[in-house]
Amino acid sequence: MEERRVTLKSADDKAGNFRLDNKIAVVTGGGSGIGRAIAQTFAANGAQVCILDINQTEGKLAAEEIIADGGEAAAYQCDVSKLESVQNIFGEILERGRIHILVNNAGIAHVGNLETTKESDFDSIFRVNVRSMYYCMQACIGHMKSSGGGVILNMASIAASAGLADRFAYSMSKGAVVAMTYSVAKDYLSHKIRCNCISPARVHTPFVDGFISRNYPGREAEMFKVLAQSQPIGRMADPKEIASLALFLCSDEAAFITGTDYPIDGGFFHLRG
């Protein structure tokens, strides 16, 4: 029988070193919450991060924190739901060089069922959660094609595939995100462009705290516990946990992964009683 020898890889070659050195990463909604955690994690692993956020103050603070920690970042005020704003900002970024990674994270939420969702709310959700991703992907896809490839990561949600009460418009928008992800992955496979999406369950962000305080004044602690325990694992995710998955999927270690929707939900989809 032929003898086979296995050579152990050096520490630098081991999986887990998900470096993004010399890569430019655009993160929409990068001024707070999950987007901010992704921007920080990418920068800590060598990426030059371009933070796009409609809130100029939050975007600038996020970039300054990264720079203070020794990373590279720049903040751009951008309303990703408006084509002109997206085109202007992406044009400015492309003057710096190649865009290697696009993370479409910006989005808004809405509570309501079919009957209680107003047309204006439906249109607003679609404009921010769906059309913005179309604008951003279209703004850089040609550049990625001509530059030899790239990675696109879209932020979806378990709402896209699990039935959630009073999330009619939001679920619609995230279902569209998953479908767009599959389509882009298929159409641009030959151009070495990978496209995946992440579907988190509830994540503890400032948005969640604000939602609870607005809707359940005086019952904040009680409702936080209820929402946290709706995940079988018994808690909400930390934004850094979502960022870690994003880092892997955007790294070269994930070069064999495209056209995939990754749930990160504490067992919500499959383990609910």
Mean of all residue pLDDT scores within the chain: 91
Count up the domains in the chain and report the number. Answer: 1
Residue 12 lies in a domain: no
Residue 40 lies in a domain: yes
Tell whether the model's pLDDT for residue 107 goes beyond 50. yes
- Average pLDDT of 34-59? 97
Residue 31 lies in a domain: yes
Residue 52 lies in a domain: yes
d(CA 104, CA 99): 13
Tell whether the model's pLDDT for residue 10 goes beyond 70. no
DSSP state of 68: H
Question: What integer pLDDT is reported at residue 273 of this predicted model?
Answer: 61
Residue in 196, 268, 201 with CA at minimum distance from that of residue 238:
201
* pLDDT tens column, 113-143: 999 999 999 999 999 999 999 999 999 999 9
Tokens of 105: 């994270």
Give the residue numbers spanning the domain of 265: 19-202+238-271
Tokens of 7: 């050579």
With 0.85 as the threshold, say if the pTM is over it: yes
Residue 116 lies in a domain: yes
Question: What integer pLDDT is reported at residue 160 of this predicted model?
Answer: 93
Residue 196 lies in a domain: yes
- Average pLDDT of 94-105? 94
Q: Any idea what the CATH number is for the domain that residue 86 is in?
A: 3.40.50.720
Active site residues: 170
Percentage of the chain beyond pLDDT 70 is 93
Residue 63 lies in a domain: yes
